[in-house]
A and B are shown apart, each in its own frame.
Chain A
Amino acid sequence: AQTVTQSQPEMSVQEAETVTLSCTYDTSESDYYLFWYKQPPSRQMILVIRQEAYKQQNATENRFSVNFQKAAKSFSLKISDSQLGDAAMYFCAYRSARAGANSKLTFGKGITLSVRP
């Protein structure tokens, strides 16, 4: 079974600074997807960024980028130029891409990010 580990329960960053959120995962599969989801205090979860394991290039979405290290099974999220609206809980998630796999996501426990003005 796959597991996703987010070892830091909380982090804090100064507005306009850069912060990196860590995530590691364990799987025996070679083909999969990884996601970062954001859950603001309003509670609606939204997708921040996704990475396909077969792609070597790290995904980027505006101020959000990932550092995907397949061999190390590491998938960290970097938020540049942090804004007050980035304050939220962030979840790392894994999904298998093997043939016949369903759409189940396995989530980490989440990390609460606070942004200091």
Chain B
Amino acid sequence: DVKVTQSSRYLVKRTGEKVFLECVQDMDHENMFWYRQDPGLGLRLIYFSYDVKMKEKGDIPEGYSVSREKKERFSLILESASTNQTSMYLCASSLTSGRVGALDEQYFGPGTRLTVT
């Protein structure tokens, strides 16, 4: 079974702190994603990566950056946390990109509930 793990289930940080959210997948997937989930807004894509050291902005990248130094690990960084970044953060990974996509199921981690005070 594919396993996607996130470093913390719950995290409380102060405004202005630098925050790292870590995600690790164990199935050699090329693609990795970071979403935030807010009530009434669904899931919104922050950043994604289709290869090591490659990244692309999603729909709401402002205030975030990412790092992918190894294939299995994708980090989300909040350079200076703000209260409006209080949210549930979900990481996902998938095997392939492009036309093959019938098998391109995204597998999700359990989520990190981040509270910024």
Number of A interface residues in the complex (CB < 8 A):
28
Q: Mask for B28-49, Cβ within 8 A of A = 1, else 0?
A: 0001010100001111110010
In the complex, what's the smallest C-beta–C-beta distance from B14 to chain A, in angstroms?
Answer: 24
Contact A102 B48 (CB under 8 A): yes
Contact B97 A102 (CB under 8 A): yes
Main secondary structure of the interface of A (DSSP, over half): loop
Task: Sort chain B's interface into a size bin.
Answer: 20 to 34
Contact B104 A104 (CB under 8 A): no
In the complex, what's the smallest C-beta–C-beta distance from A12 to chain B, in angstroms?
Answer: 18
Contact B48 A104 (CB under 8 A): yes
Q: Across the interface, which residues of A come within 8 angstroms of B102, CB to CB? A: 33, 50, 52
Instruction: Indicate if B99 sits at the interface (CB-CB under 8 A).
Output: yes
Cβ-closest chain A residue relative to B105? A47
Q: Across the interface, which residues of B come within 8 angstroms of A101, CB to CB? A: 97-99, 101
